[in-house]
Amino acid sequence: MDRGGTVAVALSTGEMTSPQGLWAKEAERLLRLQRRLAHATGGSNRRKKTKALIAGLKAREVDRRKDWVQKTTTDLARKFDVIRVENLIVKAMTLSARTTVVELGRNVARKAGLNRGFLKSGGGLLVARLEQKEPGRVEKVKAACRSQTCNPCKHIASDRRKSQATFVCVSCGHRANADVNAARNIAAKHGVTARADRSVLARSVEREPQHGRPPQVA
């Protein structure tokens, strides 16, 4: 399972899903309210009312994200015996765009936008909920080079991602959705030993019998 800001979850099976945020009209209303708030007088009733309306829209967005997390984790737990995800440190990722006068950052605006997208996608919350629902069945694997590696030929290059959605291998010519290609690399157990893999499968079978079908991995 690959997590991102544009596409919240991409599976090695090719499935992709993201939480429903605000509708277009709701997003336009939020922008208008934020502009109104910027011009409102501090401490005025107008400012208080505007802040309350903004909080209501943001709460609606959070509720939809939580609902998506609950439904998605339930679906994943039913479909797969082992769920592999990147070992991402979400807090470190969301702080990485910060810069100071002493140490200037690079591409700060772009990084900040990516970080906001990742937080809105609910990727960290989704993994935490999965671990609560399916203890022992969620494996965290190394995230290094997973988006730069061609899944069929395993060649690594930094110029593979032609766009946000397209992955093209400069070695074998393989073309795929970039997030799905990354998810297939994660499912290929990069950084996971065979011994650890067997122990997780043993716990999975003991916890929830699968009636003889082969283990399913996302």
* Active-site amino acid positions: 2, 86, 179
Which structure tokens are listed for 167?
């992955």
CB 165 within 8 A of CB 181: no
Long-range contacts of 126-131 (CB under 8 A, 24+ apart): 126/3, 126/8, 126/9, 126/69, 126/72, 126/73, 127/3, 127/85, 129/69, 129/70, 129/73, 130/73, 130/76, 130/77, 130/83, 130/85
